Amino acid sequence: MARFAQPRTRCLRCALPVPAGVHTCGACLRTPPMLDACHAAVDYGYPWAGVIADFKFHGDPGWAAALAGLLRATPGAESALDAADRVLPVPLARARLRERGFNQAALLAQRLAAHKTDKHLLLRLRDTQAQSSLPRRERLRNLQGAFAVEPLRAADLAGQRIVLIDDVLTTGATLDAAAQALRAAGAAHITALVLARTPAR
């Protein structure tokens, strides 16, 4: 962490690296995301890409504690968690959950704020093609209508501050689709915490 996780100046809305003194990148000024804020622990590259691959794809949930510690140390993360009414992991598609055996975002959320984590409020309505295999335009289309709030509990979100947890942010399509469902249910403020940010949208 000391060598490869030094804090960087990032866009407050999408977590892309920006020059010192810049708060919001040009892309977010032109097309504001559904998120109010986004914090990323590291850039997606060496050694974190390999660590996250071990965590997600090689059945090694033992990484959760260390990676949650990395995420908690991210500037802005602790205050976002303290202010949150609920912490929601981005749900996995059923097929990927069966294949993997666990939801990496849910493991991180439990480690970060177990007493605020709710794994059943944000729902994934349908399985979608893996985002990593798609270009940006298709990623956005792939996730339209993919998320919803549990209908019997939607009223619970009215006026609440939400923290969304995910592992990697690339185009922002997944977080945007999840945030759209939360906004429709009345969430007042949505912050995303992600382990890694890819260098470009």
Q: Which token pair is 18?
A: 């920006």
Rounded-to-integer distance, Cα 116 and Cα 1, Å:
26
CB neighbours of residue 131 within 10 Å: 16
pLDDT score at 59: 80
Largest CA distance in the chain: 47
Cα(29)–Cα(14) distance, integer angstroms: 11
Number of Cβ atoms within 10 Å of the Cβ of 161: 15
Give the whole-angstrom CA distance, residue 197 versus residue 192. 12
Residues of the chain whose pLDDT is less than 50?
Answer: 131
pLDDT of residue 98: 86
Q: pLDDT at position 162, please?
A: 98
**Residue 94: predicted pLDDT:** 85
pLDDT score recorded for residue 93? 84
Q: 127: which 2 tokens?
A: 């399985």
Alpha carbons 147 and 151: distance in angstroms, whole number: 12
pLDDT for 201 equals 60
The reported pLDDT for the residue numbered 67 is 96
CA distance 51 to 49: 6
Quote the pTM value.
Answer: 0.90
Which helix (H) or strand (E) segment holds residue 180: the answer is: helix 173-184
